């Protein structure tokens, strides 16, 4: 069994564990061995004992015959979710060695579903980035080509899933951080409607945008995982939506005949690589072959999304990150003469360059005299972007387009040009600003063999429809089954 285990889906693992084909401890040990042997840099914290303790608990539930659906299935968490049994750094020196006294709602829900945590996954510092190179603890390699980035900010999550180091991972998406790395690593990831998953215990970057979601190797697995992680959490997250938990697997097998898929003119213009365009056409053909109908739509304000996002997200970040002052928790500078100097030295030492850039931009756009010109204006355009989508959904059921303009770039390629990173978010930002559910599903490969992702965007709370379309696509295509060589 053991050499096959890491190729099994979440659904298969759950069934095999229930049937007693192997134990949760067997599964955990198998994946831990693969993680220890890996040189991708995807994991920031691994603790075999903590993992095996959860596996033993899952085995006890399985033996008692009343185990929850995902009992014993391994998962790993982006290091932005606080966990009691593993340290949490958010990829920052600021939180080096930090141990949370409480558990995030999302990781708690997975634990209650019986899942076994394999450890914490690398990410860009405070989830700010598109390549995972902003992590203070080193970059992560893309398993398809180890000279390339895995994407970001959930780069460790996507790389670990693609390299079969875990069957499932959590990610967070503020402006594309689940979808873009999923696209770069050839895996499936979904960001639900803003408010579906609780933000409690998810280290805050831009609170009006931050949303958790699963990354795995198929739409079916994403449906299982998303069903387990979404529940109202009104006492701990005031933006948590009051909608009952949903079983997103229920409608997966429904036909998509007649489904109207909108293709925004603005997503298919200049700027998209030829390889991405060709792959996307193939995926759209596959959807049409399943009976879906494509219709042309327009999102006129979408082009402004990069400018708007890189005002709003840094503004919120500058406020959220003010808590790292050397007093309450995390890093504190050693040498200082007075309180002011302690704050300054602590923040100068603890934060990396990109985080500082965002804090400075954010502070600037919120400052007296610039607020109206930047922050307020950006909020107004944000509303226009959301309105565009509502108009578009009058003519279609869901929207398809590229996840990213190109495939994974070479490590270090954007080092001296942060704007190149920002521009690569062009297709993922509109749905984020509107708070809509969106996912990336494999759509083939470019001429150099790098994975291409197709983005699907749904209307509010229509995750089931997105996952159904992706599952139907995955039932007639095999891009999502391809694995990188030498993993």
Contact positions toward ligand GLN, by CB under 6 A? 127-130, 153, 173-177, 205, 313, 425
In the complex, what is the shortest distance from the CB of residue 130 to ligand GLN, in angstroms, rounded to a whole number?
4
Give CA–CA dist 66/112, Å, rounded. Answer: 13
Nearer to ligand GLN, 34 or 191 (CB): 191
Nearer to ligand GLN, 175 or 350 (CB): 175
9, 104, 154, 177: the active-site residue? 177
Give CA–CA dist 192/457, Å, rounded. Answer: 10
Nearer to ligand GLN, 136 or 342 (CB): 136
153 is catalytic: yes
Nearer to ligand GLN, 78 or 332 (CB): 78
In the complex, what is the shortest distance from the CB of residue 106 to ligand GLN, in angstroms, rounded to a whole number?
15
Name which of 54, 98, 102 is nearest 76 in CA terms.
Answer: 54
Nearer to ligand GLN, 360 or 447 (CB): 360
In the complex, what is the shortest distance from the CB of residue 363 to ligand GLN, in angstroms, rounded to a whole number?
16
Q: Which residue is nearest to ligand GLN (CB)?
A: 177
In the complex, what is the shortest distance from the CB of residue 136 to ligand GLN, in angstroms, rounded to a whole number?
15
153, 198, 227, 440: the active-site residue? 153
Q: How many residues in the chain?
A: 487
Q: How many DSSP H helices and E strands does the chain contain?
A: 16, 11
The Cβ of residue 23 has, within 10 Å, a number of other Cβ atoms equal to 17
Q: What are phi and psi of 401, to 5 degrees?
A: -175, -175
Tokens, residue 478: 């095999």
Is residue 5 within 8 A of residue 30, CB to CB? The reply is yes
Give the strands of the sheet with 43-45, arranged side by side. Answer: 43-45, 116-121, 74-78, 168-173, 211-216, 188-191, 438-445, 451-458, 398-402, 260-264, 293-297
Strands (E), 187-272: 188-191, 211-216, 260-264
78, 120, 141, 191: the active-site residue? 78
Nearer to ligand GLN, 217 or 358 (CB): 358
9 is catalytic: no
In the complex, what is the shortest distance from the CB of residue 360 to ligand GLN, in angstroms, rounded to a whole number?
15
Long-range residue pairs from 49-54, CB within 8 A, at least 24 positions apart, any chain:
50/85, 50/86, 50/117, 51/116, 51/117, 51/118, 51/119, 52/25, 52/28, 53/85, 54/24, 54/28, 54/85, 54/111, 54/116, 54/117
Residues facing 398 on adjacent strands: 261, 458
240 is catalytic: no
In the complex, what is the shortest distance from the CB of residue 238 to ligand GLN, in angstroms, rounded to a whole number?
21
Question: Which amino acids are annotated catalytic?
Answer: 78, 153, 177
């Amino acid at each position: 069994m053991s050499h096959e285990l890491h190729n099994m889906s979440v659904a298969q693992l759950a069934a095999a564990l229930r049937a007693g084909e192997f134990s949760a401890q067997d599964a955990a040990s198998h994946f831990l061995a693969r993680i220890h042997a890996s040189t991708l840099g995807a994991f920031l914290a691994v603790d075999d004992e903590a993992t095996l303790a959860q596996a033993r608990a899952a085995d006890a539930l399985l033996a008692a015959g009343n185990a929850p659906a995902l009992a014993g299935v391994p998962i790993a968490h982006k290091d932005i979710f606080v966990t009691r049994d593993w340290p949490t750094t958010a990829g920052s020196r600021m939180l080096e060695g930090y141990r949370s006294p409480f558990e995030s709602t999302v990781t708690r829900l997975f634990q209650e579903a019986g899942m076994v945590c394999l450890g914490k996954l690398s990410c860009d510092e405070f989830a700010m980035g598109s390549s995972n190179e902003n992590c203070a603890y080193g970059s992560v390699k893309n398993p398809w080509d180890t000279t390339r980035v895995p994407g970001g900010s959930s780069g460790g999550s996507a790389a670990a899933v693609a390299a079969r180091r875990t069957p499932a991972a959590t990610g967070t998406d503020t402006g594309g951080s689940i979808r873009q790395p999923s696209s770069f690593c050839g895996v499936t990831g979904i960001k639900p409607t803003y408010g579906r998953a609780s933000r409690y215990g998810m280290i805050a970057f831009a609170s009006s945008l931050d949303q958790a979601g699963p990354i795995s190797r198929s739409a079916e697995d994403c449906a299982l995982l998303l069903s387990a992680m979404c529940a109202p959490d009104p006492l701990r997250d005031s933006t948590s939506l009051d909608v009952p938990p949903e079983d997103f697997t229920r409608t997966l097998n429904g036909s998509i005949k007649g489904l109207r898929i909108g293709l925004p003119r603005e997503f298919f213009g200049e700027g998209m690589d030829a390889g991405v365009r060709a792959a996307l056409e193939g995926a759209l053909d596959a959807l049409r072959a399943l009976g879906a109908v494509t219709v042309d739509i327009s999102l006129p304000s979408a082009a402004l999304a990069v400018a708007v996002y890189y005002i709003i997200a840094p503004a919120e970040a500058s406020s959220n990150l003010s808590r790292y002052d050397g007093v309450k928790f995390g890093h504190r500078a050693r040498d200082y003469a007075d309180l002011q100097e302690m704050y300054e030295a602590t923040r100068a030492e603890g934060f990396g360059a990109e985080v500082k850039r965002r804090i400075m931009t954010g502070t600037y756009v919120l400052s007296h005299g610039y607020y109206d010109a930047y922050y307020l204006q950006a909020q107004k355009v944000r509303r226009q972007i959301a309105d565009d989508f509502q108009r578009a959904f009058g003519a279609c059921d869901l929207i398809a387009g590229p996840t990213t303009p190109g495939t994974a770039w070479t490590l270090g390629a954007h080092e001296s040009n942060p704007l190149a990173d920002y521009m690569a978010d062009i297709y993922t930002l509109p749905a984020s600003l509107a708070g809509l559910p969106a996912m990336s599903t494999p759509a083939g490969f470019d001429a150099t063999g790098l994975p291409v992702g197709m983005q699907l965007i749904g209307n509010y709370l229509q995750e089931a429809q997105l996952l159904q379309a992706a599952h139907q696509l995955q039932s007639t295509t095999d891009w999502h089954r391809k694995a990188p060589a030498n993993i």
